[in-house]
Amino acid sequence: PGSQTIAIAQQVKRLIIDCPRNWSRNVLLWNLAADKNNDPHTDNGGCPICQGALTLEGDQVTRNLAYYVIAHASKLVPPGSVRIASTAPYDTTINITSDEERREVKRATVVQHSNVLPNVAFKTPDGKIVLIVANDSWISGGGRIQHKGQSANFRLPPGAVGTFVWPAE
């Protein structure tokens, strides 16, 4: 509101990334539309100050933070999509390779992915992969997307969210 950009990364991380990573099958926000006083709302243990995704005042509609958070995923992750594996911050990967001089000797290398931005990946019913990445830090960040032998680098400014889509096959 009042800006060409909105820092949505914290909310996208908390709702769109963390919830599916914890095996939630949906994300639900209260509520879709509210008036300028954030009514209707619950005042008995729910969310007494939650803002709707839209604020309605007469015939004027204002899009709020929740609108952009939900819109980011709902446009590209349709019903029937399933979450698929993607590297999360602090995941550990173990690579096993042959020794360069003695092929019968195997070496294990442990890689800690501490610099990976928060992300979640989905496979859509029409066979696409959707990767949503949030840069929830105060500095520019980026990474490399790798899939089936191909890769692409990306950068995101602080507070930004990126959505990447490509064919699964």
Q: Is there a cis peptide before residue 153, judged by omega within 30 degrees of 0?
A: no
For the chain, the domains span 9-167
Half-sphere exposure (Cβ direction) of 78: Cα atoms closer than 13 Å: 6
Residue tagged 């840069």 (tokens) = 135
Q: Is there a cis peptide before residue 20, judged by omega within 30 degrees of 0?
A: no
Look at the pTM and tell me if it is higher than 0.85. no
Expressed in angstroms, the distance from the first to the final Cα of the chain is 39
Q: What does each of the 169 residues of the chain score in pLDDT, given as a tens digit? A: 445 566 789 999 999 999 999 989 888 877 888 888 888 777 676 666 677 899 999 999 999 888 999 888 889 999 999 999 888 777 776 777 777 777 778 877 776 666 789 999 999 999 999 999 999 888 898 888 988 888 899 999 999 999 999 998 8
